């Protein structure tokens, strides 16, 4: 996967290194050239100086073939503007924006842009929303055999019903988050762009579920 990151502060640089360690190609955008020093001497990805919501800058970062975009600069307005440009102009649907104001984060999620407010931010949350693998459990039973995970879902599943997705997964999909609010779906609930999906799985099902939803559904 190719991931473009806007912002090379502590959050952006940490995210870039984590993605590269997982074998993904990474491009990092920042307005300050000195910020790229945070990436360290072993970073092999691309660095682009400029404003992250500028189309030419985004194109130099490879947004045209990107699989995901993370806006994690220090400004809420810049992050949300960049996220909207990437989604609406370049049609990259796998987008996450870091928002300092938790109230505003909820508003932007209602607009269909997944956001993570700083007060509850961790790099693992960003990674879970960008990558089809590497899920961390949100809940685990005392025996450690069963877990609830937030699943990365490929845009190709948009328009499918939760019932169809549950049949394909062969595991419970107990709830989704839509526009910043949780809801318990029925079999006829249609999965929408921006929804976050949660699955109840055993440990040996995790890789299978990640692989299933990390790619478009089969046409058969």
Q: Does residue 189 contact residue 162 with C-beta atoms inside 8 Å?
A: yes
pLDDT in tens, 178-192: 877 789 999 999 999
- 197 lies in some domain: yes
**pLDDT exceeds 50 at position 194:** yes
What's the pLDDT at 74? Answer: 86
CATH number of the CATH domain containing 151:
3.30.70.1450
What's the pLDDT at 6? Answer: 97
Q: How many domains does the chain have?
A: 2
Domain that holds residue 143: 137-213
Same domain for 90 and 165?
Answer: no
CATH number of the CATH domain containing 54:
3.40.50.720
Of 76-80, 97-101, 116-120, 173-177, where does mean pLDDT reach its minimum?
116-120
Same domain for 181 and 146?
Answer: yes
Q: Element (H or E) spanning 82, and its range?
A: helix 76-89
C-alpha distances in Å from residue 190, one per residue of 3, 125, 186, 198: 28, 24, 9, 14
pLDDT in tens, 4-59: 999 999 889 989 998 998 899 999 999 999 999 999 999 999 999 999 999 999 99
pLDDT in tens, 59-113: 999 999 999 999 999 888 899 899 989 999 999 988 888 887 766 666 666 666 7
202 pairs with which residues across the strands?
146
Q: Does residue 208 contact residue 199 with C-beta atoms inside 8 Å?
A: no
Q: Rounded CA gap, 195 and 200, in Å? A: 17
pTM comes to 0.65
Question: Given the structure tokens 């809801």, which residue do they identify?
Answer: 183
Tally of CA atoms within 13 A in the half-sphere of 157 that contains its CB: 26
Select from 4, 2, 48, 46 the least CA-distant residue to 22.
2
């Amino acid at each position: 996967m190719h991931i473009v990151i806007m912002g090379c502060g502590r959050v952006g640089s940490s995210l870039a290194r984590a993605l590269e360690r997982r074998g993904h190609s990474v491009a990092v955008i920042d307005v300050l050239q000195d910020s790229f020093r945070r990436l360290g001497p072993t970073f092999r990805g691309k660095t682009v100086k400029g404003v992250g919501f500028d189309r030419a800058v985004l194109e130099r970062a490879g947004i045209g073939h990107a699989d995901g975009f993370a806006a994690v600069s220090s400004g809420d307005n810049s992050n949300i503007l960049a996220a909207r440009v990437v989604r609406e102009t370049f049609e990259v649907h796998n987008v996450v924006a870091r928002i300092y104001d938790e109230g505003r984060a909820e508003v932007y999620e209602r607009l269909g842009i997944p956001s993570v407010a700083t007060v509850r931010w961790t790099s693992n949350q960003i990674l879970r929303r960008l990558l089809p693998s590497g899920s961390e459990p949100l809940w685990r039973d005392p025996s450690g055999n069963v877990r609830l995970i937030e699943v990365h879902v490929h845009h190709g599943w948009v328009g499918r019903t939760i019932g169809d997705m549950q049949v394909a997964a062969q595991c419970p999909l107990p709830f989704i988050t839509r526009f910043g609010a949780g809801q318990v779906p029925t079999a006829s609930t249609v999965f929408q762009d921006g929804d976050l999906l949660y699955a109840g799985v055993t440990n040996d099902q995790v890789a299978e579920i990640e692989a299933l939803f990390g790619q478009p559904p089969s046409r058969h």
